[in-house]
Amino acid sequence: MKPYLIVIPAYNEEEHIANVIDSTKKDNPQADILVVNDGSTDNTSALAKQRGAEVLDLPFNIGYGGAVQTGFRFAVEHAYDFTVTLDGDGQHDPASVKALIDTMEREKADVVIGSRFIEGSYRMGFLRKIGVRLFSWIARLYGGMRISDPTSGFQLLDRKAFSYLARDDNYPLDYPDVNIVMALHKMDFKIVEAPVRMKEKLKGKSMHSGFRPAVYVLRMCLAILMIFLRKED
């Protein structure tokens, strides 16, 4: 595989970003690293630059999805063939990128989703677990997709897939999860899963913490409805 871009969206991740970049470099020496600093008010940007990553500083916080799409647009502009999305909080193990690459090459896929459930276990709250199971069922019902971890942000995409998502209306600013999987499937992109290692978040707030999963499920159901109703050009 040619050199690829690892996109790391980050918002106030000064506690984790240096270690994330260091471990990403160690495990993926052939990759370029882009940190999309999503309007952080701490030292995320400075630390990322000190560690030698390319950094795009957004003037204000636009949301996880917007930061990821900014990375996709950077990849399009700089003619990368592949991108990996990796969270800036240290949950995603950069060593698992190899499993994503191997799976893409073996399956001739356009998108590989890193699943924390294929090998091993991962603890999560009750509401979030219900949401994951619900969206897995919807994905299977919608297109016969057997996706065990539809909310995973640890993904590898080829140029066709991330170029499609880089377009204005094809990626949400807040919650890009199973709705994106379904949208890509609708456009005939081949999507598969690969086992990856993820660490449980011990500090800070996840966008799926507390009562947020309940709100997330409701908003995602609306997003899924829009996938059904949307007519592609």
What is the three-class DSSP state of 1?
coil
Amino acid occupying residue 156:
L
The set of residues, in sequence order, having a beta carbon less than 8 Å from that of 137 and lying 6+ positions away, is none
Contact of 83 with 5, CB cutoff 8 Å: yes
Model confidence pLDDT, tens digit, residues 19-53: 999 999 999 999 999 999 999 999 999 999 999 99
Q: Which long-range contacts (C-beta less than 8 Å, at least 24 apart) are formed by 47-50?
A: 47/14, 47/17, 47/18, 48/10, 48/17, 48/18, 48/21, 50/18
Q: What is the pLDDT at residue 216?
A: 61
Residue 119: pLDDT band by 50, 70, 90 thresholds?
confident
Residue 206 belongs to what domain range? 5-229
Q: Which residues of 143-172 are buried (b: 16+ CB within 10 A; e: fewer)?
A: eebebbbbbbbbbbbbeebbbbbbeeebbb
Q: What is the percent of the chain where pLDDT is above 90?
A: 58
List the one residue out of 224, 107, 126 whose CA is nearest residue 177: 224
Residue 226: band (very low, low, confident or very high) from pLDDT cuts 50, 70, 90: low
* Per-residue tokens: 47: 């630390």
Better-scored residue on pLDDT, 84 or 202: 84
CATH of the domain at 42: 3.90.550.10
Q: Are 46 and 54 in contact (CB under 8 A)?
A: no
> Of the segments 7-16, 124-133, 137-146, which one has the largest average pLDDT value?
7-16
pTM score above 0.95: no
Can you tell me the distance from the alpha carbon of 7 to that of 37, in angstroms, rounded to the nearest whole number? Answer: 11
Q: How many CB atoms lie within 10 A of CB 123?
A: 6
Distance between CA atoms of residues 65 and 89, nearest Å: 15
Query: How many domains does the chain contain in total?
Result: 1
Average pLDDT over residues 118-125: 68
Q: Is the pLDDT at 123 greater than 90, yes or no?
A: no
pLDDT at 12 over 80: yes
**SS3 for 153?**
coil
Note whether 173 and 63 are within 8 A (CB).
yes
pLDDT of 211 > 60? The answer is no
- Of the candidate ranges 58-72, 137-151, 176-190, the one whose mean pLDDT is the lowest: 137-151
